[in-house]
Amino acid sequence: MSITANKVVSIDYTLTDDDGEVIDTSTGAEPLEYLHGADNIVPGLEGALEGKAVGDELKVVIEPEDGYGEYEAELISIVSRGDIEGIDELEVGMELHAETPDGDVQIITIRELDGDEVTVDANHPLAGQRLTFQVRVVDVRDATADELAHGHPHGEDDHEH
Ligand code: ZN
């Protein structure tokens, strides 16, 4: 079975930056499962996996535009502490999960704290970076109707939403 839209794909992967530093890896953990064609993973990686099959290994170098986007200075803004709910102690470098108006989860990084002013950065932490993925395809299967409706895989655990 090869990878096409609506397949649930499991991959082992290691992600490194331009200096060869490991940013993320599935080594020592479960393979990453995603629904192909549903934007679960960055476009450059999803495109490279199209048509691949179990056992295939590939190295993919992804420019920011096909990864987490270019770094955009306009995405830095200043809010007041009161705008950030649910967190008692804010710290520089802290990554918060915020929900956008259309329901996507966005990572916001706190860059600066000055009295009541909080400088927040809505760029993805990997924005502007060239990414190198070393990937091995571990499993490919048909998605269930539930998974297709939700737009992501459900794995073996019970899933409540
Ligand atoms: Zn779901």
pLDDT digits (tens, 9 = 90+) for 131-143: 999 999 999 999 9
pLDDT above 60 for 23: yes
C-alpha 152 to ligand 1 mean position (Å): 6
C-alpha 103 to ligand 1 mean position (Å): 14
Report how far residue 22's alpha carbon sits from residue 7's, in angstroms, rounded to the nearest whole number.
28
C-alpha 105 to ligand 1 mean position (Å): 15
pLDDT above 70 for 112: yes
Tokens of 157: 């655990």
Beta bridge partners of 66: none
pLDDT above 90 for 87: no
Q: Does residue 102 or residue 60 have the better pLDDT?
A: 60
Q: What is the pLDDT of residue 105?
A: 81
Q: What is the pLDDT of residue 151?
A: 95
Q: pTM of the entire structure?
A: 0.80
Domains of the chain are 7-68+126-150 (3.10.50.40), 73-121 (2.40.10.330)
C-alpha 129 to ligand 1 mean position (Å): 30
Report how far residue 161's alpha carbon sits from residue 146's, in angstroms, rounded to the nearest whole number.
11
C-alpha 73 to ligand 1 mean position (Å): 34
C-alpha 156 to ligand 1 mean position (Å): 12
Q: What is the pLDDT of residue 30?
A: 93
Is residue 74 within 8 Å of residue 121, measured between CB atoms? no
Q: List, in order, residues 6 or more apart from 82 with CB less than 8 Å away.
A: 116
pLDDT bracket for residue 160 (50, 70, 90): low
**DSSP output for 92-115:** TT-EEEEE-TTS-EEEEEEEEEET
C-alpha 6 to ligand 1 mean position (Å): 14
CA distances to 12, 17, 22, 30, 151 from 105, in Å = 24, 24, 24, 23, 14
